[in-house]
Every structure is written in C-alpha cells, then in structure tokens.
C-alpha cells in the first residue's frame, strides 16, 4: 500500500513517487504546461508523445530520487463532478488559471475549497497563472491572486508555457514541498501507532455513490 502515495518513499535511497493532478478549466493551458515541462515542447508538429494526459518525470532533488506522475484531467465544466475520482490519493495539485480569464480564476477557487475539504492539508497546492505572455490582456490582478493563494496555504506561480517561463521552478518547488510533507508524514508514522493491515489511504471502491464514498474515506479511511 505504501507505494501508493508519497508515504511510499521509505528509508533513504528509495525513490519517492508522487502523484500530481492538474486541475483547471478547459483551455487554460494545462496540457501545454505539462508538455512543456516533460518534453520541452510547445505547439510543436514533431511531438513524439502519443498523449499528454499521463506523463511521468524522474527527478533528483538533493540526492533524493523522485518519480513524478502527472495526471491531466478533463477541464470541461460537465466533468467537474468527477474530480474526486481523479485527485484521491494525490500528493500535489496544480491549479491552473488563465490570467486573461477571470472565470478560470473563480474556478480555481472552487477547486481549492473542494480539495481542502476532501483532502485536508496533506495535499500541496500550487496556483498557477498561465499565459503571462499575454500580460496586456490580464484580467486577474497579481495582488489578488497572490493574496488569495497565501490565504489558503497555497503557492502562487506565474508561468508561460509558450515562452517556457516559470515552469521548471513550479515543479521543482512542488516536489520539494511534497518531499517535506512526506517526511513529516513518515516521522509522524514512526512516532504514532502504525496500523498494520489497514491503509490510511485506501483504494476506494466505486459503489453506487462514488461521491459519498470518496468524501467518506478519501482522506482518513482507517478500515
């Protein structure tokens, strides 16, 4: 079970594996962002990747090996309700909005509320204002976005997938924070009572009411 989460990173030498979900409205550039990061390509005709919805990246941060699995999600409003299925058991979430689109920022706020409610503080949140190459058409003010991010305990980044700005930094920071969280988690586990036989983060069984299931056991299932 342990390999399922960041808690899967055990004693030194073993790799951490993190699951990161990309959330945000459609057309804010989630896919471009991750493609830029993993392939360093943007709008390229010669992209060899078959798909950009599930990408992995191996990192080495301060001697710690990290396997990053980035899960893209469908951004259309109609799929909003499916969110919990995607983000359960994830270590980090990247919430992307388009700086030229006020609505997409509102959407991010909704996501933050939902994530905090469902997963509590064990998920690292990053709020990302994408498309800073379109600074002229900015509709979301920097102060507003940054102060909001601070108020919910998230970090704010400005990126441009087109110009490759801020993306490396975003992922690197996120990884560091996830490692920290995982280490804290581990220490707590070492001190506290370990529960053999039960997984803190269990696989949810999709029953008739997946929503209720996830909310019930998504973060604190103990049996």
Q: Which residues bind other proteins (CB under 8 A)?
A: 1-5, 8, 10-11, 13-14, 17, 19, 26, 30-31, 35, 43, 45, 47, 49-54, 69, 71-76, 78-79, 81-82, 85-86, 89, 196-199, 201-206, 208, 210, 223
Nearer to other proteins, 71 or 148 (CB): 71
Q: Beta partners for 124?
A: 92
Nearer to other proteins, 16 or 149 (CB): 16
Nearer to other proteins, 142 or 199 (CB): 199
- Write the CB contacts of 19 (distance below 8 Å, at least 6 apart in sequence): 5, 6, 69, 71, 89, 90, 91, 92
Q: Closest by alpha carbon to 17, among 72, 63, 59?
A: 59
Task: In angstroms, give the least distance from the CB of 211 to other proteins.
Answer: 8
Nearer to other proteins, 138 or 204 (CB): 204
Task: In angstroms, give the least distance from the CB of 13 to other proteins.
Answer: 6
**How many CB atoms sit inside 10 A of residue 62's CB?**
7
Specify the DSSP element, H or E, that contains 143: helix 142-151
């Amino acid at each position: 079970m342990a390999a399922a989460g960041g808690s899967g990173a055990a004693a030194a030498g073993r790799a951490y594996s993190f699951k990161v979900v990309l959330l945000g409205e459609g057309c804010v550039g989630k896919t471009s962002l991750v493609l830029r990061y993993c392939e360093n390509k943007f709008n390229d005709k010669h992209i060899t990747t078959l798909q950009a919805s599930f990408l992995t990246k191996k990192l080495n941060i301060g001697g710690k090996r990290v396997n990053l699995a980035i899960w893209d999600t469908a951004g259309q409003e109609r799929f909003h309700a499916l969110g919990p299925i995607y983000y359960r058991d994830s270590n980090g979430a990247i919430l992307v909005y388009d700086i030229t689109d006020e609505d997409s920022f509102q959407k991010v706020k909704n996501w933050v509320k939902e994530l905090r409610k469902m997963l509590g503080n064990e998920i690292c949140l990053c709020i990302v204002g994408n498309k800073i190459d379109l600074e002229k058409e900015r509709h979301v003010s920097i102060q507003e976005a940054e102060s909001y991010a601070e108020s919910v305990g998230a970090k704010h980044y400005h990126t441009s997938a087109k110009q490759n700005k801020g993306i490396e930094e975003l992922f690197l920071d996120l990884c560091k924070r996830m490692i920290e969280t995982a280490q804290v988690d581990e220490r707590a586990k070492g001190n506290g009572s370990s529960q053999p036989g039960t997984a803190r983060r269990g696989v949810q069984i999709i029953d008739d009411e997946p929503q209720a299931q996830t909310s019930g056991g998504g973060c604190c299932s103990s049996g």
